[in-house]
């Protein structure tokens, strides 16, 4: 049986697609890779919110899945919209890698630093931690952002630790930021294998139940808040408790709460933000 896997074409995306392929090959299937260019790949300069809503790295891949051009879509789960697209379902989450954010170029956050990131969530939390920081927009794939940090003389950049680990670039990490200080993006560190609704059995053997039990409440919480790509929100389940936050984009205020019910937690945060 041949299974066509669709993913973005960056080095990290193809590395992640190979992780998914390795998990699927255990069921004896043959794999063909289908690289797909997304809106987020085509436009590497504008902020995400100017390109479209959350999901700028998945829309075209989902369209290929719905059209039958691929059989499985592999996504960084944090890039997906927080609610499932009609006609599609996450058939498996691979075992989660490190969900934390990583500081590259420095070992700690110090007053007055110039830090690069394109993430509104990271910007808000960084400024809440240290208001004297200068947060500069920085986009591109991992290798591009590492190069731009050096070219622009930035003191540090913030990236997902899992991406650096997957690319063999763990040595670039100066510090892995504790979720107490920097709450990760919902589903960060997890890879999602998306299929057409009703075809979940194609990938079900690759599903990690512990990852699903953490990631799905995170996604539900963010979906209930109803945040778009630019809204500084975050949700992270530590295995015991769900933690979530909503913030002002400049970090002037951050409301953070913890609990067991993702919907109730989201409603509490939205009420606090009004």
Residues 194-204: tens digit of each pLDDT? 999 999 999 99
Per annotation, catalytic residue among 139, 149, 166, 219:
139
Q: Is the dihedral of CA 211, 213, 216, 219 positive or negative?
A: negative
Establish if 120 belongs to a structural domain: yes
Q: Which pLDDT score, from 0 to 100, does residue 52 have?
A: 45
Residue 274 annotated to the active site: no
- Whether 196 sits among the annotated catalytic residues: the reply is no
Q: Is 269 part of a structural domain of the chain?
A: no
Which of 75-79, 82-86, 180-184 has the weakest average pLDDT?
82-86
User: Rounded mean pLDDT of 63-90?
Assistant: 94
* Residues 166-185: tens digit of each pLDDT: 999 999 999 999 999 999 99
Confidence of residue 82 (pLDDT cuts 50, 70, 90): confident
Name the nearest CA neighbour of 115 among 160, 140, 144, 152. Answer: 152
- The predicted pLDDT at position 51 comes to 39
Q: Note whether residue 151 is domain-resident.
A: yes
Catalytic residue among 8, 54, 78, 219: 78
CATH of the domain at 170: 3.40.190.10
Catalytic residue among 122, 149, 214, 219: 122
Residue 53 forms part of a structural domain:
no
Selection from 145, 146, 139 nearest residue 56 by Cα = 139
pLDDT grade, residue 50 (50/70/90)? very low
| Residue listed under structure tokens 């950049």 | 157
Residue 111 within any structural domain of the chain: yes
Is 79 among the catalytic positions? yes
Write out the two tokens for 152.
Answer: 């622009």
Is 78 an active-site residue? yes
Of 8, 54, 145, 219, the catalytic one is 145
Q: What is the pLDDT of residues 195-239, one digit of tens each?
A: 999 999 999 999 999 999 999 999 999 999 984 445 689 999 999
134 inside domain? yes
What the block records as the tokens of 127 is 């400024």
What does the pLDDT average to over 90-94? 98
20 has pLDDT over 60: yes
Cβ-proximal residues to 36 (8 Å cutoff; 6+ apart), any chain: 6, 7, 8, 9, 60, 61, 64, 70
Residue 162 falls in the annotated catalytic set: no
Name the residue range of residue 119's domain.
Answer: 101-176
Per-residue pLDDT tens digits for 134-173: 999 998 999 999 999 999 999 999 999 999 999 999 999 9
pLDDT at 230: 52
Q: Choose, from 71, 79, 101, 155, the residue flagged as catalytic.
A: 79
Whether this model's pTM surpasses 0.85: yes
**Would residue 4 show up in a list of annotated catalytic residues for this protein?**
no
pLDDT, position 81: 80
pLDDT at 131 (0 to 100): 97
What is the model's pLDDT at position 142?
95
Q: Look at residue 170 and tell me if it is in a domain.
A: yes
Q: Between these two residues, 274 and 124, which has the higher pLDDT value? A: 124
Domain total of the chain = 1
- The Cα–Cα gap between 208 and 149 comes to 35
Whether residue 145 is contained in a domain is answered as yes
Query: For this structure, is 229 an active site residue?
Result: yes
The predicted pLDDT at position 226 comes to 81
State the CB neighbour count (10 A cutoff) for residue 129: 14
């Amino acid at each position: 049986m041949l299974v066509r896997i669709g993913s973005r074409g960056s080095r990290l995306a193809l590395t992640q697609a190979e992780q998914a392929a390795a998990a699927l090959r255990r069921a004896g299937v043959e794999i063909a890779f289908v690289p797909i260019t997304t809106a987020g790949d085509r436009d590497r300069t504008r902020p995400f919110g100017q390109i479209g809503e959350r999901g700028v790295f998945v829309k075209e891949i989902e369209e290929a899945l719905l059209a039958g051009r691929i059989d499985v879509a592999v996504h960084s789960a944090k890039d997906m919209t927080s609610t499932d697209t009609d006609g599609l379902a996450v058939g498996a989450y691979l075992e989660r890698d490190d969900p934390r954010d990583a500081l590259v170029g420095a070992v700690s956050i110090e007053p007055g630093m110039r830090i690069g990131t394109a993430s509104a969530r990271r910007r808000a939390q960084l400024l809440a931690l240290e208001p004297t920081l200068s947060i500069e927009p920085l986009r591109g794939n991992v290798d591009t952002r590492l190069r731009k940090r050096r070219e622009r003389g930035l003191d540090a950049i913030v990236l997902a630790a899992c991406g650096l680990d997957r690319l063999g670039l763990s040595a670039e990490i100066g510090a892995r930021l504790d979720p107490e200080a920097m709450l990760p993006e919902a589903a960060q560190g997890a890879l999602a294998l998306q299929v057409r609704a009703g075809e979940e059995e194609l990938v079900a053997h690759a599903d990690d139940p512990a990852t699903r039990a953490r990631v799905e409440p995170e996604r539900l919480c963010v979906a209930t808040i109803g945040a778009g790509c630019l809204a500084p929100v975050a949700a992270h389940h530590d295995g015991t408790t769900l933690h979530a936050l909503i913030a002002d984009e400049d970090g002037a205020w951050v409301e953070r709460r913890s609990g067991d019910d993702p919907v109730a937690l989201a409603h509490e945060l939205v009420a606090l933000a009004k």
